[in-house]
Amino acid sequence: MRILLTGATGVVGTEVADLLRTSGHTPVQVARRPTADAPVRWHLGAEPPPAALTGHWDVIVHAAASTRWTLTREEAVSANLAPLRAVLDLADRDTHLVHVSTAYVGGTRNPEDLRGAEFEGYRNGYEWSKARCEELVRADHPGALTVVRPPLVVGRRPDGRIARFSGPYTILQALVSGLAAVVVGDPGGFAEISPVDQVAAVIATAALGDPPSAPRTEVIAAGPACLTLTALLDVICDTLNEYRARHSVPPIERPPLVPVESWNRFFLPLADQHLSPFQTQAVRLLAMFQSYTAMTEPFTPTHQVTDPAAVMATAVRHWADRKPRLALARPEPWTLLAARPDPPLPGAPRAR
């Protein structure tokens, strides 16, 4: 079986490659920055495919993507839609395409969390581009198709290992540094996570199994067992403080939860006047999490994540073991600056 794997050095791609090799298959691994394990260099969407990628593919696993939540629409097209078009050019009618998407293209969205017309009802450029990618692949791929939708991805269930710390790990650093003065979201809102090994297992099983006769969508989520934001934050803080106690370091305080409406209506208008540029940047970064911590309903999974609290705790322990200086850092409390000169008049238009 001839298998192509894009994004082979990414968080999900690394795990998929390991599983495929363990199953006795050697995929051709593509990455923008090649490594010994992924030797084929290809800047998808920006240059023609190398000669090594010509010919028929039995399976293409497309795991390459930019997951940055701060993508502009133009950046999202270049980072995610253009690479998918390049991959589709390599597929034929007999190719089973396994396309890695995100669970957040579905579910219920709160209009107050959205960024206007730019992303057509989606929370950010990443999410918008993955929705457009699903439309594109369903319309243009003539062969078998499996779409895999994971939620926020954390480390492996047994040991917490992950190729790189990104996405939800940002909140860990923010907590121990003191940047997370508050956590924005609905205390009872749902926060879906999945261990990366489960995501990879669903993808590898799809790639090595019989191609579906009709497009198939696999959703990885805890569903009815999903953690609320309150429970997720408790797990994170309790696990960090267990680690800190073992090293005789004082615990971090659990930050207060602020509802999205209060955050947007009362806090953010004051931020430009009373926070430093660094604090303002941190506020905007952490605000990107708010729509992912205020879901009113969990996803309906085809592959259920069991005991997500244990998954999160294991992920936090591994992060702390790998980043001890951060995990044991002393949080620096926020201090407000004097109001900047010439603040905007009440009701005046403001840049957003």
Q: What is the pLDDT of residue 269?
A: 75
Distance, CA of 101 to chain centre: 10
Q: What is the pLDDT of residue 147?
A: 98
Instruction: Determine how β-strand 190-191 pairs with β-strand 227-228.
Output: antiparallel
Task: Give the domains, in start order, of the chain with CATH numbers.
Answer: 3-155+193-221 (3.40.50.720)
- The string of pLDDT tens digits covering residues 95-127 is 999 999 999 887 545 555 445 567 777 778 888
Taking the CA atoms of residue 152, residue 153, residue 155 and residue 156 in that order, the dihedral angle to the nearest 10 degrees is 120
CB 260 within 8 A of CB 267: no
Q: What is the pLDDT of residue 1?
A: 93
Both structure tokens of 288: 């990107």
Q: Give the separation between CA 88 and CA 64, rounded to whole angstroms.
A: 13
Instruction: Determine how β-strand 28-31 pairs with β-strand 3-6.
Output: parallel
Q: Which residues of the chain have pLDDT under 70?
A: 107-117, 271-276, 278-291, 293-294, 334-352
The secondary structure of the chain, three-state, reads CCEEEECCCCHHHHHHHHHHHHCCCCCEEEECCCCCCCCEECCCCCCCCCHHHCCCCCEEEECCCCCCCCCCHHHHHHHHHHHHHHHHCCCCCCCEEEEECCHHHCCCCCHHHCCHHHHCCCCCHHHHHHHHHHHHHHHHCCCCEEEEECCEEECCCCCCCCCCCCHHHHHHHHHHHCCCCCEECCCCCEECEEEHHHHHHHHHHHHHCCCCCCCEEEEEECHHHCEEHHHHHHHHHHHHHHHHHHCCCCCCCCCCEECHHHHHHHHHHHHHHHCCHHHHHHHHHHHCCHHHCCECCCCCCCEECCCHHHHHHHHHHHHHHHCHHHHCCCCCCCCCCCCCCCCCCCCCCCCC
pTM, 2 dp: 0.88
Q: What is the pLDDT of residue 251?
A: 96
